[in-house]
Amino acid sequence: MSFLNSFLIPLSSSSLFDDIKSYEKQNKTNIIFLIDYTWDKLPFNDRFENNKYRYYIMSIDNHKLFLEKINWIQMYSKNKDLDIIYHTHGGSVMSSDIISNLLLNYPQNVRSHIPCICQSAGTLLALSSKEMYMNFYSLLGPVDPQLSYQSINTEYDKTSSRCLIKLKEKKSVNGIDDSILIKIIESELFHNDGIETIKSILNKRSPNMTKDNIEKVCEILCSGKYPHHKPLNRNKIEEMGIKVTGSISPQICNLFNELCVLKKDLKFI
């Protein structure tokens, strides 16, 4: 058995693909998994360019592939809904902004399903959908941008945009290294834009939410007041005034469980 064939066996033997197609047919929808690690992390990725999972299992940072899928849907199945299943700790600001814009302007229904975890940029995308489904142990999280900066010891560190802004408030500009100061200016742009993005999403997806409620949500999600990894469960999300449509259906849970088995078989996480 060749090395390449050893990778292909889990793909062809898995029932995930058949179950995805069956779910899409029964529910007149299109399925996309948005996760942290996907086929683009496999060695010899060019050989998998046309594999059957390419447009179903995507990295949350692969906005180009997501756009390709949306274009394909508009060409061949534009009257179908979109179901996105998340399993991610987050992704880049650029990709999340692009994908969020696509979701907000998608002509049919968009449903987000969070079986376990959907933090940071994932939370922003989930809020961009028309319907959101969570179990009581499902987790969202703050969306304040995280920026990398080079510290004095030349190693790269990462912190929230709000922390860098606080540094400027508490320390004289003359006492801040130029490279850090540039990051502070950049962090102010990202921080303010992040707040406006969430406000725009809530105004479109939750038109009945009051201005005070939107400010409350932004305080929790965008201000940097809470650690970026802070878990926000379904109860907390509903307390914030964000509507959770319902729990994860058994069919979606089954698809997610099959994905986990497939990832384990391929041993790439």
Whether the CB-CB separation of 253 and 6 falls below 8 Å is answered with: no
Average pLDDT of every residue of the chain: 82
Q: Which amino acid is at 12?
A: S
Q: For 155-198, what is each residue's pLDDT tens digit?
A: 445 555 556 655 566 566 566 666 677 777 777 788 888 899 99
pLDDT at 11: 41
**Type and span of the H or E element at 184:** helix 178-205
Task: Assess whether pLDDT exceeds 50 at residue 131.
Answer: yes
Calculate helix-pair angle for 93-104, 63-76, nearest 10 degrees: 20
pLDDT at 149: 55
192-211: average pLDDT = 93
42-48, long-range: CB within 8 Å, 24+ apart, which pairs?
42/7, 42/266, 42/268, 44/4, 47/4
Q: For 211-228, what is each residue's pLDDT tens digit?
A: 999 999 999 998 888 888
Task: Assess whether pLDDT exceeds 50 at residue 95.
Answer: yes
Structure tokens at 200: 């725009």
Task: Assess whether pLDDT exceeds 70 at residue 13.
Answer: no
Whether the CB-CB separation of 38 and 59 falls below 8 Å is answered with: yes
Q: What angle do CA 86, 89, 235 make, to 5 degrees?
A: 70
pLDDT at 259: 86
Whether the CB-CB separation of 167 and 184 falls below 8 Å is answered with: yes
- C-alpha distances in angstroms, 19 versus 144, 205, 221? 36, 30, 35
Residue 100: count of CB within 10 angstroms of its CB = 22
